[in-house]
Structures are given as C-alpha cells and as structure tokens.
Amino acid sequence: MKTKIFTIFLLLAFAVNAKAQTKSVKHTFAIADGNFLLDGKPVQIHSGEMHYAFIPKPYWRHRLQMMKAMGLNAVATYVFWNYHETAPGVWDFKSDNKNIAEYVKIAQEEGLYVILRPGPYVCAEWEFGGYPWFLQKVPGMVIRGVNEPYLSATKAYFTALYGQVKNLFVTNGGPIIMVQGENEFGSYVSQRKDISLEEHKKYSAAVFQQLKDVGFNVPFFTSDGSWLFEGGALPGALPTANGEDDVAKLKEVVNKYNGGKGPYMVAEFYPGWLDHWAEPFPKVSTESIVKQTQKYLDGDVSFNYYMIHGGTNFGFTSGANYDNKHDIQPDLTSYDYDAPISEAGWATEKYLALRNLLKKEETPAIPAKIPVIEIPNIAFTKAVDLEDVKNNVKPVNSDKPLTFEELNQGHGYVWYSKKFKQPISGKLELNGLRDYAIIYVNGTKVAELNSYYKKYDCDIDIPFNATLDIFVENMGRINYGAKIVNSTKGIISPVIINGETITGNWDMYKLPMDVVPNIANVKNTATAGKPAIYEGNFTLTKTGDTFLDMRDWGKGIVFINGINIGRYWSVGPQQTLYVPGCWLKVGKNDIVILEQKNDVMHKSVKSISTPILEELKPENGLPK
C-alpha cells in the first residue's frame, strides 16, 4: 500500500512538472541514487513510443494529445537517418514530416517529456533499419563496425541531428530528458558471432563517444533483451530491458550491470507486435497488457509502450525481416501494431483500459476523433501500359544486370530487358532476385518470382528474335538481423537459362516512382496481364480520414494528390490503405495507381470507413 501511495505521489509530481515545462521553466533531469530525478526528486517514467515519420505532420499534435489523455508523461521516438540524409551530404529536417525539432516542441507544449533514440541503427520495421541506402556504395564501409568510412558517416549524422535538437535538451529548457546509445546492440552481438565481443564493444563505445563529443548532454541509456546485456550494455549508460515482464529478473540484471542499483525501466514494453505481408496479423490481449502494466506500477518500474501508436509506413519506408522459410518478410504499409492508439489515431479498447489504469485527476479528456468519410466510387479516366512509360526512360546498358545500387537508385522498380537473336529454352534461374519479379516474353507474362516464397526459377521458352523483360520491385531492405549488411536490391547475381549465363546488352529502365508518374501525354494502352498505371480524380465537399479498398487489386502502390501512401498486396492481411484526411482537399483530388500484376482491368476504386488489416489470402501471392 505504501508503495502504491508513493508511486501516485511521484506520478503527480511528474505530471505537474510536465505541465510546467510548457511555460519554458528550466528543469533538471538526472539518473542518480538508483532513481530518475526530475528537479532532484524521484520520478517514474510512463512513456509511449511514437515516431514522427509515421504520422502526417498535421496530425502530430492530435496523436500527442491522445498520449497525454491516456495518462502518459513522456514520448519516445527513433530518429531515422535515411529520412533526413536524402542523398550523400544532403540533409532535410524541414519538409513534410521531417521537422523533428517541431515534433519535439509540440510534445513539450502538450506536457510530455521526450526520449530520443538516434541510432544510428534503429529497427522500427523501417527501410534498412534507418541507414541511407547509398552507404552500401561507399568503398570500404561496413555498417555497425569499426571502420573509418562508417564512423565518419555516423559522426556527420549525429552532428546534423545535434544542430536540430541542441536547444531542446532539458539542460537548455527543452523536453528531451534521455538519449539512447546504439540501439539494441546486444541483439546484433548475438547475431554476429563471427565478430569478437571485443570488436563489437569497441564499435558501440566509439558511437557512444561520438554522441557525447557532438554535444548530446543528457543522461544516456541502452535497451536490450535482459539476456543480451553483456553485448549491449555501455559504461556510463543506464541499461534497460526490452520486453522483460519479470520484475525481479529485470532488477537483478540491471543491478548486475549498473553498480547494484536502479532505476529500472523497460524501454520497449510491447502492447502489440509487428506485421508481415502473407502472414497472420498478430494480436496481444488487452487483459495481458493491463495486468503487466500493473506489475510495473507496483514494482516501481518505468516503462515505454512500443508502440503506443504505430502509424503508417508511407511510400517506400517499410523494411523487412527474414527467417528460415523466407528470404524476405516484407513489412506491411500499416504499422497499426495492434497498439492502444490505432493507425488512424482512434482510441481502442486497449487504450481505454490503460487510460483507466493510468489517468489522474489532471489527465485531460480524450481528443475528438478525426472525421471519417467514405468515397463510394472513384472512376478512372486513364489506364496506361507501364511499358509505354518505360519506353520514355533512357535505359542503362550493361553486359550484365546491375543492382539498384549500381544504378544509383534507392527504391521502387527496375525494368530489365534483353533482346534474344537466337532461341533459348529451359529453366530460368534468378537466384539473385531481390525481391519480386514478373517475367514476360514478348509482352506475355510467363511467371512471377519472389524472395518471400523462395521462388527463384521457372520454365521459359524464348523464340527467335524475342524480348525477355523482368520487372523487379524492391520490397524494402532488411531492418533487423545479421543479413542487414547484405541489403542490395534488384538482380544481384547472373541470370541463367538452361545452365547458360545470359550476358551482353542488358537494358535497365529506372522506375524509382519517387514522384507520381506523369501520364498526361500517354494514350490509354493498358491491357490485362501487363503492369498498368491508372489515373482518376474525385471531388469532395468535405474532407476526412478514409481507407482505400484494395481487395480487388493485385500488387502495387497508390498516390493521392501526389503523395505515395504505400504498398498494397492481395495476399493481405492488410487489404486497405489509410488515407489521412489532411492530405485530401475540398474540391478536386487526384489518384494514381501503379498496378504491377493487372490480371484484370479496373474501372474504379472506392474507399470505406474502417480498415481491413486481418484478411489473409496468401494464395493470392503464390508464384505462377
């Protein structure tokens, strides 16, 4: 009972201080005497992970208000290096959702402290774990290792980030109270046993020192599974245990690596879990999360819900995992995560139950739900064969197929084409496919290959004077595990037919789809069985969030008013795409869809008022 009363006192103190910070009152924050100390007094951190890059900027405040209304006092966020270094040495911290300084300031205005997780490696089911794709082109660079090219790049990244947030640390009157050292490094140590522990430690210490040298001057922490502290813990940083539900074990392992004392924190407490295409949508029960939260409250354990609100992998930002059965497990566009706050920012049953547990007298009311609309019919005004768009692109010619990286392309698609003057038939082997390809002979589809199903070959018959086309999609680079160091895309090894390596005069057409394709001067040439671009528009008298219904479609991406809202794939479990109302407008709106498979022609598409995230149809993606 005394413990509960003391915890309530601490939470009230933290809440009062959190509210006071909006008035630019300068606070102190420290880790000392086995406690988190705010203005010299012990506090307990009740945080939620929510990433600025996954949420439209106009909705940042709403989502932060949702967190505050659940009874939380802090928000944690990764920083995504590749989101900000858009080309070598080119930094963007201002456009679209990239203004991290503004995100942090809004958090402060809403009475939340901030926990910053700069990486350089993050995970977050995000493309390449946050690394810029072009690092793979730098001679001598090995990510997550001690080598000059890599450490020079991380130093440049930390320096650029520090320039954005230096005035936002609690030491300068801002809300940032803690910064994480290299992320989940204990996991990587366990995965890369080919590297000595001494060498691993040398690397993580070097990155940690860079953060301090650049100027990050608030308390540091690390986060790893409780059994991975040997590889992940750093002298001078508080070790926290991801996913540890045994309070006694948590305290024991933190004590071992932190001088026999706390404070104790679970930096990733999972109220949901990540999702892959072609696999069931994982669910975590409300009852279990409420019960575990109560254990932490009773045990004086601070925590950070990962995720409190997941949001969306817009564009080509989603990453991928892998396992023994699949060479790639691409992550969904939706990052709903079964989190307490849904992808569209709704209060779920889980949210309400946790709010009931965490709320205090001064906890604000739940913000109003953003309006939702339905668009019953969006007719297409144009349907263009993608090959006609491809033919307006100047090809790169080479004796062998080149990777995306060799073509200096990060994301999207590459169309590989070769003209055969002599016939050849037999087995086509595409063992170096990364990640998904449709194969055509003289414009007729003959097969679909992809890395998820480990389908890398098919029978093929190429007649005299025929053209072989291989349309390849990058489905997202690996974001977790040892194979993250091998994340090149496209066709990365020789094309073999009937045992023969096919060389000479390969044409490669770059289709990055980094901007909406312009088909204004292209005729309606689309036919079933070939990739197509559909274009249409719709008129709204009011705006609101909605969900594009893609159940009748195959595989592709969608642009709304020029914004790539993400990938769809008929395998599910995600069958809708979230369209934020803040990206719609009263009056005319434009839609463009790249449909890769296009097994049937489409005349229209519609939106619905609720998402479909659990409709699994893996048979729709089986290679043919």
Asked whether the bond before 307 is cis by omega within 30 degrees of 0, the reply is: yes
> Which letter does DSSP use for residue 306 in this model?
T
- Is pLDDT of 275 > 80? yes
- Is pLDDT of 154 > 90? yes
Torsion angle, CA of 388/391/392/396, rounded to 10 degrees? Answer: 150
pLDDT at 15: 52
pLDDT at 409: 98
pLDDT category at 8 given cuts 50, 70, 90 is very low
pLDDT at 9: 45
Task: Render pLDDT for 577-623 as a digit per residue (tens, 0 to 9).
Answer: 999 999 999 999 999 999 999 999 999 999 999 999 999 999 999 88
Residue appearing with tokens 């860079």: 210
- Is pLDDT of 114 > 90? yes
Q: Per DSSP, which regions of 181-335 are E strands? A: 220-224, 238-241, 265-269, 302-305, 320-321, 329-330
Percent of the chain with pLDDT over 70: 96
- Is pLDDT of 21 > 60? no
Among 418, 411, 412, which Cα is nearest to 396's? 418
More confident call, 621 vs 163: 163
Domains of the chain: 40-358 (3.20.20.80), 375-384+515-608 (2.60.120.260), 400-504 (2.60.120.260)
Catalytic choice (182, 268, 429, 448): 268
Torsion angle, CA of 213/215/217/223, rounded to 10 degrees? Answer: -60
Q: What is the mean pLDDT of residues 205-229?
A: 98
Cβ neighbours of 156 (radius 10 Å): 17
pLDDT category at 4 given cuts 50, 70, 90 is very low
Q: How many CA atoms, within 13 angstroms, populate the side-chain half-sphere of residue 457?
A: 12
- Rounded to a whole number, what is the largest CA-CA distance in the chain? 86
- Is pLDDT of 23 > 50? no
Cβ neighbours of 603 (radius 10 Å): 11
Cβ neighbours of 382 (radius 10 Å): 17
DSSP collapsed to 3 states, 67-78: HHHCCCCEEEEE
pLDDT at 303: 98
pLDDT at 229: 98
The first and second tokens of residue 95, run together, are 């456009």
- The verdict on whether 268 is a catalytic residue reads yes
Mean of all residue pLDDT scores within the chain: 95
Phi, psi at 120, each rounded to 5° = -70, -25
Catalytic choice (184, 244, 405, 473): 184
Among 296, 387, 356, 317, which Cα is nearest to 47's? 296
pLDDT category at 267 given cuts 50, 70, 90 is very high
Question: pTM of this prediction?
Answer: 0.95
Task: Render pLDDT for 353-387 as a digit per residue (tens, 0 to 9).
Answer: 999 999 999 999 999 999 999 999 999 999 999 99
Task: Render pLDDT for 485-541 as a digit per residue (tens, 0 to 9).
Answer: 999 999 999 999 999 999 999 999 999 999 999 999 899 999 999 999 999 999 999
> Which letter does DSSP use for residue 369 in this model?
P
Q: What is the mean pLDDT of residues 432-442?
A: 98
Task: Render pLDDT for 55-82 as a digit per residue (tens, 0 to 9).
Answer: 999 999 999 999 999 999 999 999 999 9
